[in-house]
Amino acid sequence: MKREQAVRINDHLLDAYRALDEARMGIAALGKAERIELGDWLEEVVTALEDELSSRSTISTRIWSRQNPIENR
């Protein structure tokens, strides 16, 4: 992966983090029943995103290791 790609991906992840934070704040302002329902839903979304990022990170690391064998020693 080139540095420019990594920077762009990082920027997207920061944007996603900000959006999720805004969603959390919006949910916190709701009534109790809505907070529980939407809070659970948001937790599921975040968990799914983390799982997907984790698996993609593992794949990216393997690919990078194959492309840069000397740097991995």
Confidence of residue 67 (pLDDT cuts 50, 70, 90): low
- Type of residue at 50: E
Query: What percentage of the chain carries pLDDT values higher than 70?
Result: 75
pLDDT of residue 62 exceeding 80: no
Beta carbons within 8 Å of 65's beta carbon, 6+ residues apart: 72
pLDDT at position 73, please?
46
| Residue whose structure tokens are 């393997």 | 62
Supply the pTM of this predicted model. Answer: 0.61
- Type of residue at 66: R
3 state SS of 12: helix
Give the tens place of pLDDT for each residue, 24-45.
999 999 999 999 999 999 999 8
